[in-house]
Amino acid sequence: MKSIHEIIIEVDRLAPMPQVMNQIMAIAEDPNSTMTDIAEVIIYDPVITGSLIKACNSAYYALPRKVNSVKEAIMLLGLDQVIEFVLIKTISAYLKKGTLGYGLNEGELWRYSVSTALMARDLAARKDASNKQFIFTASLLKDIGKIVLDRFVSGAIEEIEELVLSNSYSFKEAEEEVIGLDHAELGGIIAEKWDFSPELTYVIRNHHMTDLSAMEDYATSVVYLAEIVAMMTGIGSGIDGLAYRFYENVLEGLKITEDDLQETISLASEHYYNVLDLLSIT
């Protein structure tokens, strides 16, 4: 078993999250946020501003006229799309690196995270959830623990796979048994160190239903279900694949119908290739 202290040292070595990320997440979590709120954050970040205007003027968005400012971009795209763009672009620096311990090449964890976030938002929107942007953010960040735990998993993968294949462990349970903690718990630790809100930290820490009481939390349940759906479609699924617990009562509790699920699954491929297009632009 690895020293948890050694793993925490790796967390401390992570480059700090840009301040713009925390500001945008706060806006995403506030249902009363306005276009002015987000414009005032973005205009002081030249990299994000440039990327946003470049994306707006690309074929990806196919807008009727050229965009020359952040305010124009927000007016044409809408608050939700701009928030999602900024979050996706900012987090890419952390999630684009390969996580070979999980069987994911460069860019795959990022693409998988974006795809599950899009599906989580879609599931939430089907039920008219007021916090769909928060759910999108939580799903995008849920696997942040993997970027640190990766090398520890890589060095212990045979032991982990043995527990999964021969002892009916979930991948998360095997991580905890062999390494000392799993990627969801480590994600919660990173979220605390980066001053994420308690609500966001809770979802990241419990997105595999580590605490079964999380089944009563709407946002955590949607993020969990979106990940299961993504794994079923095979989008960005790594070595951990479907080696996680499926709790059918989560599906029942969300009142997601079979049609809802099928429609979300059918959109998965479209979402995935949209993400690839966005990556090629910026």
Q: What is the pLDDT of residues 174-214, one digit of tens each?
A: 999 999 999 999 999 999 999 999 999 999 999 999 888 89
Q: Are residues 229 and 261 in contact, defined by beta-carbon separation less than 8 angstroms?
A: yes
Alpha-helical regions (H) of the chain: 4-12, 19-29, 35-42, 46-56, 70-77, 79-95, 108-126, 132-141, 146-154, 157-167, 171-179, 183-193, 198-206, 218-233, 248-254, 258-281
Tell me what the mean pLDDT of segment 11-30 comes to: 86
pLDDT band at 63 (very low <50, low <70, confident <90, very high): confident
- Could you tell me the CA-to-CA distances from 1 to 7, 25, 153, 248, 255 in Å, in that order? 11, 35, 11, 32, 41
Residues 235 and 108: their CA atoms lie apart, in Å, by 9
Q: Which residues share a beta bridge with 123?
A: none
Residue 2 has pLDDT above 70, yes or no: no
User: If one looks up domain 4-97+105-281 in CATH, what number appears?
Assistant: 1.10.3210.10
Full-model pTM: 0.88
**Average pLDDT value over all residues in the chain:** 86
- Could you tell me the CA-to-CA distances from 248 to 63, 217, 224 in Å, in that order? 42, 15, 11
The amino acid present at 91, given as its one-letter code, is I
DSSP three-state, residue 208:
coil
Alpha-helical regions (H) of 155-244: 157-167, 171-179, 183-193, 198-206, 218-233
Residue 272 has pLDDT above 90, yes or no: no
- What are φ and ψ of residue 63, in 5° steps? -75, 155
Report CA torsion sign: 276, 268, 127, 131: negative
- Could you tell me the CA-to-CA distances from 187 to 19, 43, 51, 142, 180 in Å, in that order? 19, 30, 27, 7, 14
